[in-house]
Chain A
Amino acid sequence: MARTGSRIAAVAALLVTAAACGGSASPTVQTDVGITSNSILLGNTIAQSGPAAAYGTIANGELAYFTYLNNTQGGINGRKITFKILDDAYNPAQTVPLTKQLVEQDKVFAMFSGLGTQAQTSVRDYLNAQKVPQLFVATGATTFMADFSQHPYTIGWQPPYQAESRIYAKDVLAKHPSAKIGVLYQNDDYGLDYLKGLTDGLGSNASMIVDKESFDVTAASTASQLATLKAKGADTLFIFATPALAIKSLVIVTALHWEPAIYLNSVSNVQVYMGVAAKAGAALKNVTSVGYIKDPTDPQWASDAGMKLYKTVIANCSTCNVNDGFNIYGAAVAYTMADVLNKAGSNLTRANVMSIAASNLNETNNPFLLPGVVVKTTSSDHFPIAQDQVITWNGTGWTLQGSLIDERGTIK
């Protein structure tokens, strides 16, 4: 009897060992730096002070969406998202140490939605060398999508600037075929990208551009450039400028008693800032732009489920202005981020998340984007959003014109 007992014990011990081995092997949870059993740490650098401080609220909108996810659904697959935001004041010299801090000291899983073309260029090589995903950078500079093969750990999100100005080119050719175009652009990647898209889009009609004037992002005013454009006889004005200078330019145009048809780049067309320009004396006649995100001030979305969700989400941010379009931008890109993490499931490695974001994305239901806008990447196409819709200013808000225009595949 005693023998049998010991035998059973031995078999039991064997079974337990086997079960234990199997137990540790079966749930194949693969993780990486910045992931614990109940948290995911993401990092971000953005301008919350300095010349582009207007953009700072984007990160607050993103944080509000993650807070909403954490509170209502317990985060993603049981992991709550921690989002650490640092202010780089739009100065690349600060982006570098802050990003290093997030990667090496805070040990973030990935950088998410960092803002600024120069700022994000300054850390792109570093993040790629460290194999830390630089996800959905908040810039439409074409290089962040087009140069994926050299920088496989970097991906953009919003429509590339070149695609947007190609749409303007189409609109000009259709509506003002004899226009004399004057271009005001910021002298950097961002402004030159827009200019290139416009020139390419006009194609053989590029001679319609009678003059182009540039300014630096640190410039105090664009008055002399606008006066020159007016003097050159332009009747159609393109403004490729960030919010502060775009508002100023709109005011200066009116002060010059000039009434051109105006095309305003989407990075500055937030309704709140148009209101600021109007208050400061801008006439805002005949202003055209493009959009791909629902405008919180547009009454047509009043009963829209996505807009209602946005209002619930943004209530998590006490300092956010619900009407500020940058906040809904933040919520929309955070939605894509959550989507990617959801898809990664239990395989939460940097390589897997990067591959989903850059090559296997197909999001057709982002509630904050205009109906029909698809966030999509494939192994040969790394431009997540390539659709825009023309909008015109009606005095108090933007009116959608026509239908979505798809520029997928035109920018390489």
Chain B
Amino acid sequence: MMKRLRTLPPRYWLVLVVVLFFIGLPTVIDSFLSGEWAQALVLAIAIMGLNILVGYSGQLSLGHGAFMALGAYTSAILAHRYKMDYLLTIPIAGLVTGMIGFLFGVPALRLSALYLALATFALAVVTPSLIKRPAELTGGVQGIVLLPPEPPQFAKDAFAALTGAPMTSDQWTYYVTLAWTLALFWLAWNLVRHRAGRAMRALRDGEVAASASGINIAGYKTLAFGISALYAGVAGSLFGLGTGFVSPDSFPVGLSIQLLVGTVVGGLASIPGPLLGGIFAYFLPIESNQWVPTQTWIPGQIVSTIEKAGPAVTYGAVLILVMIFAPNGVVGLVTTAYTRMRQRLRGVPDRETGQMPSDHQTV
């Protein structure tokens, strides 16, 4: 056992450090910031789902905001109208959205790259309007107001013992979201390293070759869509838990784009990438809008442009920079730097190792 621990590759220790960091975070930051971080984790889950679709199976979706909306509404309706415990509605929302995603995947198979992107984009555009129609069910344009979740007594006590203050609903939301994040990231990690993940990567890198090797192209493509939608559904449900309000305009087209940008910036086809992507996608617009106007060195013209156009400008600028300097995202940048550093330290040129090059992180 000890020997096994000692021979663990360093990344396992890194995972442990990251997990401990996220578990301890709410004890050092205030309740409000815990709520913010919970929302960043929500985006990380949705981006993980999108990453399975885009990064691992090579299909493009511009409509994951719509799947989030489906998940959020499934939970909100169950909790609000049928008085179900919100925590129970989260897996249901995931499964319902996953099923719908799977069904959407069936016709999506017939569409290639650009057409699929357009079809999913249409989904993102149409969903907010569709939600408004059955007003008795969805609350129409007014949306559904949800009660803030009450932390259970054991969590309150445990938290009070640690920090001296009882747990707030934002902090409880954070821990619920974190638990789901860990579970879903672990699942994704297992998925991509096993049969299904290898099949998806094979069909991403060459559809003809994959089908010649006996991989069921149609099956795996729809499966990827379904799993990806399931992640988005859970994320949407947790989003509703965190904000306490779901309405059609909470899921604009921009959200889908935000998710895709987060996927690319974090790093396609990587497991830690979506986590970084989620943090980036959540905090960048908020911080850029509040930080830019306080900077006196930025010319007034630029400041007012950014203020008018909102976060889109900063998103665009960061995306262009990432594409130029780190085409494989932040994770790609870090792993490349790490590999180079190791090579330099050991003095072994890449060619002489005789190892296969690592997985291409391309769409």
The reply to whether chain A is a binding partner of chain B is yes
B27 on the interface (CB 8 Å rule)? no
The contact string, 1 if C-beta is below 8 Å from chain B, for chain A 106-129, is 000000000000100111111001
B245 (CB) vs chain A CBs: closest residue: A122
Residue contact A188 to B141, C-beta cutoff 8 Å: yes
A86-B290, A216-B128 known; A319-B309 Cβ under 8 A: no
Per the bound structure, the CA–CA distance linking A19 and B60 in Å amounts to 77
Residue contact A97 to B143, C-beta cutoff 8 Å: no
Which listed residue, B30, B31, B128, B140, touches A218 by the CB 8 Å rule?
B128
Which of B48-56, B249-257, B273-281 is the contact stretch? B249-257
**In B26-59, which residues have CB < 8 Å from any A CB?**
30-33, 35-36, 39
**In B319-361, which residues have CB < 8 Å from any A CB?**
none
Task: Tell which of B140, B170, B247, B311 has the most Cβ of chain A within 10 Å.
Answer: B247
Tell me which residues across on chain A come within 8 A of B252, comparing CB atoms: 91, 218
B81 on the interface (CB 8 Å rule)? no
A65 on the interface (CB 8 Å rule)? no
Tell me which residues across on chain B come within 8 A of A371, comparing CB atoms: none
Per the bound structure, the CA–CA distance linking A240 and B337 in Å amounts to 57
A91-B250, A92-B143, A217-B249 known; A97-B36 Cβ under 8 A: yes
Which listed residue, A49, A86, A187, A218, touches B309 by the CB 8 Å rule?
A49
A105 on the interface (CB 8 Å rule)? yes
B310 on the interface (CB 8 Å rule)? yes
A189 on the interface (CB 8 Å rule)? yes
Residue contact A49 to B251, C-beta cutoff 8 Å: no
A50 on the interface (CB 8 Å rule)? yes
Task: Tell which of B143, B145, B245, B253 has the most Cβ of chain A within 10 Å.
Answer: B245
Expressed in whole angstroms, the minimum distance between the Cβ of A45 and any Cβ of chain B is 12
Main secondary structure of the interface of A (DSSP, over half): helix
Residue contact A118 to B249, C-beta cutoff 8 Å: yes
Tell me which residues across on chain A come within 8 A of B128, comparing CB atoms: 216, 218
Residue contact B30 to A92, C-beta cutoff 8 Å: no
Expressed in whole angstroms, the minimum distance between the Cβ of B2 and any Cβ of chain A is 46
Per the bound structure, the CA–CA distance linking A51 and B21 in Å amounts to 39
B244 on the interface (CB 8 Å rule)? yes
A53 on the interface (CB 8 Å rule)? yes
A187 (CB) vs chain B CBs: closest residue: B132
Which listed residue, A92, A105, A129, touches B32 by the CB 8 Å rule?
A105
A247 on the interface (CB 8 Å rule)? no
A48 on the interface (CB 8 Å rule)? yes
Per the bound structure, the CA–CA distance linking A118 and B170 in Å amounts to 22
A96-B244, A118-B142, A125-B145 known; A319-B35 Cβ under 8 A: no
Residue contact B310 to A90, C-beta cutoff 8 Å: no
Per the bound structure, the CA–CA distance linking A126 and B36 in Å amounts to 16
Tell me which residues across on chain B come within 8 A of A319, comparing CB atoms: 304
Tell me which residues across on chain A come within 8 A of B307, comparing CB atoms: 48-49, 87
**In B260-292, which residues have CB < 8 Å from any A CB?**
286, 289-290
Which listed residue, B143, B170, B249, touches A90 by the CB 8 Å rule?
B249
Per the bound structure, the CA–CA distance linking A216 and B253 in Å amounts to 13
Which listed residue, B39, B141, B244, B253, touches A189 by the CB 8 Å rule?
B141
A215 (CB) vs chain B CBs: closest residue: B129
A92-B250, A104-B30, A118-B249 known; A49-B36 Cβ under 8 A: no
Tell me which residues across on chain A come within 8 A of B132, comparing CB atoms: 187-188, 216
A53-B308, A216-B132 known; A104-B143 Cβ under 8 A: no
Residue contact B250 to A93, C-beta cutoff 8 Å: yes
Tell me which residues across on chain A come within 8 A of B255, comparing CB atoms: 93
For the side of the interface on A, what is the size category? 35 or more
Residue contact A187 to B141, C-beta cutoff 8 Å: yes
Residue contact A118 to B145, C-beta cutoff 8 Å: no
Residue contact A87 to B250, C-beta cutoff 8 Å: no
The contact string, 1 if C-beta is below 8 Å from chain B, for chain A 169-209, is 00000000000000000011100100000000000000000
A187-B132, A189-B142 known; A100-B250 Cβ under 8 A: no
Tell me which residues across on chain B come within 8 A of A92, comparing CB atoms: 143, 245, 247, 249-250
B145 (CB) vs chain A CBs: closest residue: A125
Per the bound structure, the CA–CA distance linking A97 and B35 in Å amounts to 8
A277 on the interface (CB 8 Å rule)? no
Per the bound structure, the CA–CA distance linking A123 and B148 in Å amounts to 12
A126-B244, A189-B142 known; A89-B310 Cβ under 8 A: yes
A401 on the interface (CB 8 Å rule)? no
Which listed residue, B31, B140, B250, B304, touches A104 by the CB 8 Å rule?
B31
Residue contact B243 to A104, C-beta cutoff 8 Å: no
Residue contact B143 to A121, C-beta cutoff 8 Å: yes
A220 (CB) vs chain B CBs: closest residue: B125
A105 (CB) vs chain B CBs: closest residue: B32
Expressed in whole angstroms, the minimum distance between the Cβ of B165 and any Cβ of chain A is 14
A36 on the interface (CB 8 Å rule)? no
A103 (CB) vs chain B CBs: closest residue: B32
Per the bound structure, the CA–CA distance linking A16 and B128 in Å amounts to 70
Which listed residue, A48, A118, A121, touches B308 by the CB 8 Å rule?
A48
A101 on the interface (CB 8 Å rule)? yes
Residue contact B308 to A49, C-beta cutoff 8 Å: yes
Tell me which residues across on chain A come within 8 A of B143, comparing CB atoms: 92, 118, 121-122
Expressed in whole angstroms, the minimum distance between the Cβ of A364 and any Cβ of chain B is 35
Tell me which residues across on chain A come within 8 A of B244, comparing CB atoms: 96, 125-126
Per the bound structure, the CA–CA distance linking A89 and B251 in Å amounts to 13
Residue contact B129 to A121, C-beta cutoff 8 Å: no
Residue contact A50 to B310, C-beta cutoff 8 Å: yes
Tell me which residues across on chain B come within 8 A of A49, comparing CB atoms: 307-312
Expressed in whole angstroms, the minimum distance between the Cβ of B66 and any Cβ of chain A is 13
Expressed in whole angstroms, the minimum distance between the Cβ of B171 and any Cβ of chain A is 12
Per the bound structure, the CA–CA distance linking A125 and B148 in Å amounts to 10
What are some 10 contacts across the A-B interface (CB < 8 A)?
A48-B310, A92-B245, A100-B32, A104-B30, A105-B32, A121-B145, A123-B245, A125-B244, A187-B129, A187-B132
Known contacts A93-B239, A123-B245, A126-B244; 13 additional CB pairs below 8 A are: A49-B308, A49-B310, A86-B289, A89-B311, A93-B243, A93-B255, A98-B286, A105-B30, A122-B243, A187-B132, A189-B142, A216-B128, A218-B253
| 4 A-B pairs closest in CB distance | A49-B310, A188-B141, A93-B250, A104-B32
